[in-house]
């Protein structure tokens, strides 16, 4: 007998089933090049869609406020132990629902409202939660922003040092959402120590590279390290905090009960799966390919006349100045979207355009690399980007690039079985 409890999604809610089928189709036939996005494995999707979503588990393994937590305790311990093994950190909290909540918990653990934070300016590639005036961080703390140099467009470490001595912040923050160069965590950690400040790195973008040693680790140099788990780390959409043992209790208390209530145990379990995948040899090969693909893309776009901020990339992301070709970032984003290439408009350092227009687009290689694309595909795609942006209003150019994008996507399928199933259910 069919009841409220045993129907398929297509039977229970055809509208949402159609949304999911549409999204599966969008992912399958477009080139996902948003630097902060990726595709999780089938195993991670399975963990996220599991019965663990039903469990309340406020507290931590062995010390919960609810009965019946003996099973989910195993999942959280697996996640914590694997994260420690990957990153070599002393303490880890795997409960933050997001990067934003991970950062909020660190601020609450380390600071009082009104304290001074030295953080990277969003307009120069920083993070929203590192002190943007409209974000809780900018509203709760006194923010002193630092940025990149005008000539090299790389982090101005001398400025950080000068500002740290001038403002005596209580926390020095680093980590970026649109920065393509290696970050010198050692130097920033030392600057923080020299002025008696705590230090924190948000490695959300580069966590996967750090996990396999392809970007220097912040762990030895920073008091706190936060990350999301869904970007290069390729796990579920969520956050995590690592810290020195001396801060463990304060961080745990800040996550629960200060910022969050019950953890999302299905997501915690999915993080454990993500970390297990990150410990496998294929994960390092994947990250190496992410970097190689980004490098080739940057070289090809540069050869096509675009300006790559800082001249290139050492990681998975690049910031491309499209204003040199007479387009705003918003126009470029739209033209590429219509041609089947998904990117986001992004301010470039010292941008002359307002944020909703911007002079650049941010492009990343993690998701395409997950599909199995390599250097030859990057060269072809760079050519298509250039073609689509050379004549952004042309319907024939858009159509021609769109068709080639679709054909390439068909050669590198993603979530194929899901797509076939949901198309069958919703057609
Ligand atoms: N919003 C995320 C990004 O796209 O990079 C993190 O700030």
What burial letters (b/e) apply to 161-176, b meaning 16+ CB within 10 Å?
Answer: bebbeebebbbbbbbb
**170 is an active site residue:** no
Q: Is 128 in the pocket of ligand 1 (CB under 6 A)?
A: yes
Beta-bridged to residue 64, according to DSSP, are 59
* Lateral strand order in the sheet of 142-146: 91-93, 239-243, 224-228, 198-202, 171-174, 116-120, 142-146
Active site residue 56: yes
pTM recorded for the entire structure: 0.97
Q: Respond yes or no: is residue 153 known to be catalytic.
A: no
| Over residues 186-190, mean pLDDT | 98
Average pLDDT of 264-290? 98
Closest residue CA from atom 6 of ligand 1: 177
Residue 192's pLDDT is what? 98
Per-residue model confidence as pLDDT tens digits over 338-375: 999 999 999 999 999 999 999 999 999 999 999 999 99
Q: Would you call 228 a catalytic residue per the annotation?
A: yes
The rounded percent of the chain whose pLDDT value lies above 70 is 100
Q: Contact 137/129 with Cβ under 8 angstroms? A: yes
Predicted confidence at residue 425, as pLDDT, reads 77
Give the tens place of pLDDT for each residue, 115-156.
Answer: 999 999 999 999 999 999 999 999 999 999 999 999 999 999
Q: What pLDDT was estimated at residue 280?
A: 98
177 within ligand 1 shell (Cβ under 6 A): yes
Residue 231 falls in the annotated catalytic set: yes
Please say if the pLDDT value at position 423 is more than 90: no
Q: Look at the chain and count its residues.
A: 427
Confidence of residue 427 (pLDDT cuts 50, 70, 90): low
Q: Is 37 in the pocket of ligand 1 (CB under 6 A)?
A: no
Which of 32, 161, 202, 252 is flagged as catalytic? 202
Residue among 302, 297, 407, 408 nearest 363 (CA): 297
The rounded distance, in Å, linking the Cα atoms of 345 and 357 is 7
Question: Rounded mean pLDDT of 176-184?
Answer: 98
420 vs 360, more confident: 360
pLDDT at 382: 98
Cβ–ligand 1 contact at 362 (below 6 Å): no
pLDDT in tens, 198-240: 999 999 999 999 999 999 999 999 999 999 999 999 999 999 9
Residue 66: pLDDT over 70: yes
pLDDT of residue 196: 98
Whether 173 and 70 have beta carbons less than 8 Å apart is answered as no
Over the stretch 285-335, which tens digit does the pLDDT of each residue have? Answer: 999 999 999 999 999 999 999 999 999 999 999 999 999 999 999 999 999
């Amino acid at each position: 007998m069919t009841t409220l409890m045993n129907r398929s999604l297509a039977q229970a809610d055809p509208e949402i089933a159609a949304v999911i089928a549409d999204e599966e189709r969008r992912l399958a036939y477009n080139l996902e090049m948003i630097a902060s996005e990726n595709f999780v494995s089938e195993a991670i999707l399975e963990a996220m869609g599991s019965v663990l979503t039903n469990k309340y588990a406020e507290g931590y393994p062995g010390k919960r406020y609810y009965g019946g937590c003996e099973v989910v305790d195993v999942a959280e311990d697996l996640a914590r132990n694997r994260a420690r093994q990957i990153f070599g950190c002393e303490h880890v909290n795997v409960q933050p629902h997001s990067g934003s909540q991970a950062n909020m918990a660190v601020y609450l653990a380390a600071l009082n409202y009104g304290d001074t934070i030295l953080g990277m300016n969003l307009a120069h590639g920083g993070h929203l939660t590192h002190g943007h005036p409209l974000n809780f961080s900018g509203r709760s703390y006194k923010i002193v922003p630092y940025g990149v140099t005008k000539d090299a467009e790389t982090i101005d470490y001398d400025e950080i040092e000068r500002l740290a001595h001038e403002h005596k912040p209580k926390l020095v923050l680093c980590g970026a959402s649109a920065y393509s160069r290696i970050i010198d965590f050692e130097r920033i950690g030392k600057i923080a120590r020299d002025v008696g400040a705590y230090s924190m790195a948000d490695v959300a973008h580069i966590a996967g590279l750090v996990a396999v040693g392809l970007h220097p680790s912040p762990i030895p140099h920073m008091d706190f390290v936060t990350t999301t788990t869904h970007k290069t780390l390729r796990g579920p959409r969520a956050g995590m905090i690592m810290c020195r043992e001396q801060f463990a209790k304060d961080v745990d208390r800040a996550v629960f009960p200060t910022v969050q209530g019950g953890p999302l145990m299905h997501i915690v379990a999915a993080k454990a799966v993500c970390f297990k995948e990150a410990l496998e040899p294929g994960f390092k090969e994947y990250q190496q390919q992410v970097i190689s693909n980004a490098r080739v893309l940057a070289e090809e776009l540069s050869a096509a006349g675009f300006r790559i901020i800082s001249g290139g990339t050492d990681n998975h992301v690049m910031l491309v100045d499209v204003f040199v070709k007479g387009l705003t970032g918003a126009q470029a984003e739209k033209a590429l979207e219509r041609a089947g290439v998904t990117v986001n408009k992004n301010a470039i350092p010292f941008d002359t355009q307002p944020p909703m227009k911007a002079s650049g687009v941010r492009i990343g290689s993690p998701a395409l690399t997950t599909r199995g694309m390599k250097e030859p595909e990057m060269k072809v795609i760079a050519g298509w980007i250039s073609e689509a942006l050379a004549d952004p209003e042309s319907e024939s150019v858009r159509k021609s690039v769109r068709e080639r994008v679709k054909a390439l996507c068909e050669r590198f399928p993603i979530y194929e079985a899901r797509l076939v199933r949901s198309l069958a259910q919703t057609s």
